[in-house]
Structure 1
């Protein structure tokens, strides 16, 4: 299996990192912060990590919260790259 091969729902569920939810189409997690600026700072760190790995999530920045969403668009769903990205975000 290649890193860009879509995973099944069962495979995604078995590999989801702590705090993440989703299915074979997309995985996501919402993070909360004490201030808007803390959320923006976190989003910047996510973006920097994504640039280093060359695999970029969608980010939704709200007031004191940031939602991070992974899906490998050219593969049509969640791949091992997305699982690895979610694990990396958990490590921030």
Structure 2
């Protein structure tokens, strides 16, 4: 897998509500009504991540989940990251 070009990445970002690029990674903060909802979101995505062999960098505090995505093996943001972000948006 190869990193997306800047043009491809910009085009994909137009369809990814809430996502930005920070420090070379796809980035978003999700907010939920409670810790249980935030943890449930993470649990659902953990199963997706494991099935796809693609795992996020994420951080949880109470009702917030902060996510950073990059494909380390490819050295940048790839289609795997875009697909994961789209799934996250659907589950949120």
TM over 0.5: yes
Runs of 4 or more, structure 1, over 6 Å off, are: none
Structure 1 spans left out of the alignment, 5+ residues: none
CA displacement, residues 11-51 of structure 1 (integer Å, 9 cap, x when unaligned): 21210212211168210111101111211111111111111
- Summarize the alignment of residues 13-32 of structure 1 with structure 2, pairs less than 5 Å apart: 13-16=10-13, 17-22=16-21, 25-32=24-31
- 1:6 alignment partner, one of 3, 12, 15: 3
Equivalenced residues, count: 89
Instruction: Using structure 1 for the length normalisation, give the TM-score.
Output: 0.86
Corresponding residue for residue 46 of structure 2: 47
User: Over aligned residues, Cα RMSD in angstroms?
Assistant: 1.6
> Are the equivalent residues in 2 in contact too, given 1:27–1:71 (CA < 8 A)?
yes
TM-score (norm 2): 0.86
Gapped runs of 5+ residues in structure 2? none
Q: CA deviation at 1:9?
A: 2.7
The Cα of 1:10 is off from its aligned counterpart by: 2.7
Closer/same/farther in 2, CA of residues 23 and 60 from structure 1, 3 Å limit? closer
Cα distance per residue 1:29-79 (max 9 Å; x no partner): 111011112111111111111112211111111121001211001111101
